[in-house]
Structure 1
Amino acid sequence: MNMIKKLEHTGIMVSDMDRSLDFYQNVLGLKLRLREALNDEVELAFLAFPGEDAVEVELIGGRGVGEQEGRVNHLAFSVDNIEAELERLASFGVKLVDESPRSILNGTVKIAFFEGPDGEKLELVER
C-alpha cells in the first residue's frame, strides 16, 4: 500500500515575483533553489530554508495568476523567541496582525500572525 511520505511544497499565488522573492529571502530567510518560466505566462520559484530542503515554498506568478484558483489559509514558521522575531519583522515594515503573541493550547504554544507582500497570512509558532 502506498503511503503519503511528507509535505512536498506549498504553492502561493503572487502578483509580483521579484517583490515576493525579496520578502521570502531577505525578510523570512528562505533560499531560492530554482526560478524558471513554466510557459509564456507563468513563472515559478521554489524556496527552502537552508538545511531544510525537504519542504519548499513555491511562488507562482505571472499573467492571470491573480484569480482565485485555490487558496492556502496560512504558512507557519517555527521560531525560538517569538517576541524578538515580531520585533525583527516590524523593523522591515511587515504588517503584523498580532503585535504581541497569543498563548494557545493551555499556554504551551505561542503564536502570532503577520502578512506577506500580497496579504498572504503567515504565522510564527514558538513551542
Structure 2
Amino acid sequence: MRLLHTMLRVGDMQRSIDFYTNVLGMRLLRKSDYPEGKFTLAFVGYQDEKDGAVLELTHNWDTSSYELGTAYGHIALEVDNAAETCDKVRELGGKVVREAGPMKHGTTVIAFVEDPDGYKIEFIQRGSRKGASD
C-alpha cells in the first residue's frame, strides 16, 4: 500500500489551482469535470501521481464554501528556508498565519500559511526536524 492523495473541498476551483500552483509551486497534474455529478476534480502536486502523494481538489458546483471542522489539522511541506518561503507567499498574495520560528517545546523550524479556503499549510524547514532523516 501507499498513500495516493488527500482530498480537499474547495469553494472556487480556479482560485485554489492558482494558489497551489502559483503560490506554492505545485503543478496541475490533471483536471476533470463531471457534469452529471456537478463537480470538478483537479489533482496538484510536486511530482507525478505515480511517484508520490498529491492533493485532490474537489469543487462541488453548487457549494462556494465549507466548514472546516475541528478534526482537520494541516498539510505539511518541507522547505529549504521557512522564513524566505513565507516572504515569497506574502509577495504572491498568500496569507501567513504563523511566522517562521521554532515550534513550541521543540527546535523544529515551522511556519503556517492558509489557502483561499482556510486550510492550513505548515512549512517545515529542511534539516531542523529532530530525528528526521534528511
Q: Give the alignment's TM-score, normalised by structure 1.
A: 0.83
Return the alpha-carbon distance in structure 1 between the equivalents of residues 73 and 106 of structure 2.
24
SS at match of 1:117: coil
Unaligned 5+ residue runs, structure 1? Answer: none
Q: For 2:32, give the aligned amino acid.
A: E
Structure 1 residue 67 displacement after superposition: 4.7
Cross-structure match for 2:97: 97
Correspondences of 1:41-80 after superposition (within 5 Å): 41-50=38-47, 53-65=51-63, 66-68=65-67, 72-80=72-80
After superposition, the C-alpha distances for 1:89-114 in whole angstroms (9 at most, x for unaligned) are 1111211111232335631x111111
Superposition deviation, residue 123 in structure 1: 0.7
Partner amino acid for 2:111? A
SS in 2 for 1:84: helix
**Structure 1 partner of 2:32:** 36
Q: Matches of 2:39 and 2:48 in 1, distance apart?
A: 28
Counterpart residue identity of residue 27, structure 1: V
CA-based RMSD: 2.2
Q: Which residue of 2 aligns with 1:114?
A: 113
Contact 1:113 1:124 survives alignment (8 Å): yes
Q: How many angstroms apart in 2 are the aligned matches of 1:6 and 1:81?
A: 28
Q: Give the fraction of aligned pairs with identical amino acids, expressed as a percent.
A: 34
> Contact 1:97–1:114 (CA<8 Å) still a contact in 2?
yes
When normalised by structure 2's length, the TM-score is: 0.79
Structure 2, unaligned runs of 5 or more:
129-134
Counterparts of residues 8-47 of structure 1 (less than 5 Å): 8-40=4-36, 41-47=38-44
